[in-house]
Structure 1
Amino acid sequence: MGNLIFNGELITRSAVKIDVEDRGYQFGDGVYEVIRIYNGQLFASEMHLKRLFESAKFIRIKVPFTLEELKAKLEALIVKDGLTFGIVYMQLTRGASSRNHAFPTEEVEPVFIAYTKEMPYAGEVKPGVKALLTDDMRWLRCNIKSLNLLGNILAKQEAVEAGCAEAVLHRDGIVTEGSSSNVSIIVDGTLKTHPANNLILNGITRRVMLQLCQANGIPVVEEAFSIADMLAADEVLYTSTGVEVTPIVSIDGKIINDGQTGPITRQLQVYFREEIERQCGRLKA
């Protein structure tokens, strides 16, 4: 994918120059968003873009477009790249200025980039994965989708080195989320997930899943649950733009649901595919 949006202009990737004193590069002073593309269409785009604007507002960066303008630019980029299945990544930083922890003066303009990447659709049936438990050592504003991801990266790498797909994070024994996902459990037919407060990112796939639960009569409780609750659960699943709805069948070697995808997780996978098709058209995979 050789094109991208740079400060509102659709140009080739090779033409982009980012200043070495860009605050995103030096401080992680910015926010980002990732939207899935199916059949050349943006999925849940309004929810994603609203969250980008909310995150930017939290850290006091003004997005230089309206939501409608930004969506139109992203759609033009997808067409230019001829992308059918994939993602669009976008990032907004506070801009480039002499290195100083304090905000630069108001004449410094934010820097926005967006580009696409292929990601095939694998179908709604996704095999269960292994996960690793680790302490949640991140900051206390996890509800902001910021560029400050070092804590997430270290947790993910710990999981990878242990042969796991995801790290499940906890604070003093209370499960928060995954290193790059939200984690939910099923107990006696009810889906439980951590409340959307400052300790987790309120994932878009998580939000869509909760809407699907409501629409299809699956009870939901948004409350904190412990490691013990999770290990004793009937089903455990994790959700994100990349993995959609995927079961976790082993946590620190403890097998969940005999290592099989549980019935409610399987229902949610089907409902999620139906929602994709409702928004983006029929899927062949």
Structure 2
Amino acid sequence: MLTVGVDLAAEAVRTAVAWLDWSAPGRARLVGVAAGADDGLIVEAVTGADKAGIDCPLGWPDKFVDFVTAHRAGHVEVPEGVAGRTWRRDLAWRVTDQVVYARTGLTPLSVSADRIAHATMRCAAVLAELARRGRPVDRRGDGAVVEVYPAACLKGWGLPHRGYKRAADLSELGRLVDRLLEAAPWLDLGEYDPICRASDDATDAVVSALAARASALGLVTVPEPGQAGAAGTEGWIALPTTPLDRLVAAG
């Protein structure tokens, strides 16, 4: 099995792709890392993988889309008896974002009200190209692509999940890589170890590829029946439900 992780930013300069090869029993080998990944490289990586994890919202909240549509037409209706902050919550956060918060205590960035929306605009173009090439994406996580959230994965696996991104001092990122390799001695970063220690984008791409493996093995959260409809349009963050070692033990 080959899994791919994509740490997707609005621009290529902050985007990284990682390839993990799981063909050796009980091992996973990092066989490629690309920084500065453009749309074409991402599409090729996804189409060549058994499963790809993308660290980016795959859609917007349904209620936000309805709100913007109503606002354009000039007939927004505000629910009576509901505080403004409560009403806006469902506009700002998707069903999956609220599930992630309930399960992990982490709050994903709002694709409606934060700069992450720029990355999702780019992601929409990537998903459209994948569909054009005959690989349509099920935003619930079935099929070729699953939405992932590296910080929540790391927290669930008992690893450092804060303080390693965009830091001038790379020591925290290095400690994260050390802890990851201690927790997963079967993971071989090979010649790409230095770039993982120098770039949090690369490390997040590796974590995304690990999460893609968990999804491929069915070791992640899936939408409940009442959440499936929203997940199909908004996207669904698949959270690993087992320790890291199950990624090789179950393969």
- TM-score normalised per structure 1: 0.26
- TM-score normalised per structure 2: 0.28
Higher strand share: 1
Higher helix share: 2
**Higher Cα radius of gyration:** 1
